[in-house]
Amino acid sequence: MLDYVGCIVRPAGHPFSVAVQNVFVPSNQNRVSLLVASQYVANDLRVIRFIGPNAAFRADPGDLLFANKTISMALGSQLALSLAEAWGQDYLGRVKSKETKTLEGLPTPALVLDLDVLESNLRLMQGRADALGVRLRPHVKTHKCLEIGDLQRSAGASGITVSTPEEARAFAAHGVTDILWAFPMIPSRLREILDLSDRVRFGVTVDSLVAVETLSRTEAPLSVWIELDCGYGRSGVPHESPALIEIGRRISETSTLELAGCLTHAGHTYHAESPAHIVALAEEERRAMVEAGQRLREAGVDPGTLSVGSTPGMSLVQDLTGIDEVRPGNYALYDYTQVCLGSCGLERCAVTVLATVISSHPGRGRCVADCGAAVLSKDLGAETPAHFGRLFSDLTTADLDPAARVTSVSQEHGTISTEYSIGTKIRILPNHACLTVAQFDHFDVVRGQTVVDRWKIWRSRGAGNQEGARRDGPG
């Protein structure tokens, strides 16, 4: 017998509802995409997520319902069996299991996601965007995770930003219909651009006439964004350059291309000397974008959406007058670099790495753990002296050990600046969450010290076969 049996129903045009052990908990949201709810409580069970949205229940193995006390809820024995057949997973074993997995019990290295902190971060950033009068289009390259994307959209986000076509395909297959590829268009990926544009509203970024002409020659209706450089000095048309007007006019002259917007990324906020400096750089970014939009209008070109975005800037900016949209990504998880910059406090860092000490010899004053570059990346962060990550005092505390750092890495080995005995588990705050996440295949999701779920990270790279991508993608 299952401890808790639920049934999910979605009549056409009606909200999702879930019945849990004869307790009926309706959702007050009606979304086309998968619904997420974290605040409903029934019989002391907090529902983390709903399954859906279509009647076929296309889902990955993480799409069962999980409660915060690790008691699994199934959709009934027959459906669980069908899911088991479809995906070759022992779903009944999972939903019947009463075994509680704790943080201490995870195999290492593990990427640990604190669900309470994540949810708080999403609420806070959505609240900032709402208060500043802009739409929030989060950059999902930070997490590459469908479940986190669902939570962001449930909180109020509008569309997503991606850094690769692979990310776009994963989220498009999951039901996201408004996707911006905020990376200069790669000519060899035209086939994927056209495929995605047939399926969703897919924004393609350009910063040259060469890129515009390449897109124009496809004779396909495409949504185009112009990238501007507002001081970072990476990619993008210099915001004051006459080339901006030339590119805008050329897009407008074509019969198939639509100028959907102009975007920029103030990456130089990551080199700011203080929170006040970040605020000043964010204001320079805002002013440069507003002026660029005005120049395009004066030239007879509608600039479309004006979009800015960096987590340091959006965490601290005070005024976004004239801006339509923001695209921060790291804010969902934060990391030690953001703490050093003053973007957030330590308590808002949602991702840590759990590792195990594998070599330790008395007198050396250091030890080695399974947290090398293939786990933490080689990002040295913003602190001096440089390191690859800070250690917490223990697995349960929110305090950093003042003496413990990852001082060097090879591919799998990470050297720790203090001695721990072999077998000791340590928790590391990475310098750069985005790069650390990109090293893993899944998050181990926790509430407190209890593991409540496992969420896949869609980190594939390579064009591949498009029909295969459709067939094998999430959904």
DSSP, collapsed to helix, strand or coil, labels residue 429 as strand
Rounded distance, CA 168 to CA 161, Å? 8
Decide the pairing of beta strands 160-162 and 135-136.
Answer: unpaired
Integer CA distances (angstroms), 39 to 44, 54, 275, in order? 11, 23, 33
The pLDDT assigned to 34 comes to: 27
Q: Where are the domains of the chain?
A: 6-100, 133-334, 345-456
β-pairing verdict for 442-447 and 110-114:
parallel
The whole-number pLDDT of residue 349 equals: 97
What pLDDT was estimated at residue 45? 30
* Beta bridge partner(s), residue 180: 161, 203
Same fold, 133-334 and 345-456: no
Enumerate the β-bridge partners of residue 136. Answer: 326
At 184, give phi and psi (nearest 5°). -55, 135
State which CATH number among 2.40.37.10, 2.40.37.20, 2.60.120.960, 3.40.50.720 fits the domain covering 345-456. Answer: 2.40.37.20
**What pLDDT shows up at residue 397?**
83
Classify 153 as helix, strand or coil: helix
Q: Residue for token digits 């076929």?
A: 56
Taking the C-alpha atoms of residue 209 and residue 386, their distance in angstroms, rounded to an integer, is 41
* pTM listed for this prediction: 0.78
At 13 the pLDDT is: 35
CA distance 448 to 355: 18
Q: Give helix 209-216 / helix 243-253 axis angle, nearest 10°.
A: 10
Name the phi and psi angles at 116, rounded to 5: -65, -45
Alpha-carbon gap, residue 116 to 350, rounded angstroms: 8
Q: For helices 275-298 and 243-253, what crossing angle results, to 10°?
A: 50
Tens place of pLDDT per residue across the chain (475 aa):
222 223 333 233 333 333 333 223 333 332 222 222 322 223 223 333 333 333 223 333 333 333 222 223 333 434 433 433 333 334 334 433 445 589 999 999 999 999 999 999 999 999 999 999 999 999 999 999 999 999 999 999 999 999 999 999 999 999 999 999 999 999 999 999 999 999 999 999 999 999 999 999 999 999 999 999 998 888 889 999 999 999 999 999 999 999 999 999 988 999 889 999 999 999 999 999 999 999 999 999 999 999 998 999 999 999 999 999 999 999 999 999 999 999 999 999 999 999 999 999 999 999 999 999 999 999 998 888 999 999 999 998 889 999 999 999 999 999 999 999 999 999 999 999 999 999 999 999 999 999 999 999 999 877 544 433 333 344 3
CATH 3.20.20.10 fits domain 133-334? yes
Buried b (16+ CB within 10 A) or exposed e, 308-347: bbbbbbbbbbeebeebbbbbbbbbbbbbbbbbebbbbeee
**β-pair type (201-206, 257-263):** unpaired
The whole-angstrom separation of Cα 435 and Cα 353 is 12
| pLDDT for position 267 | 86
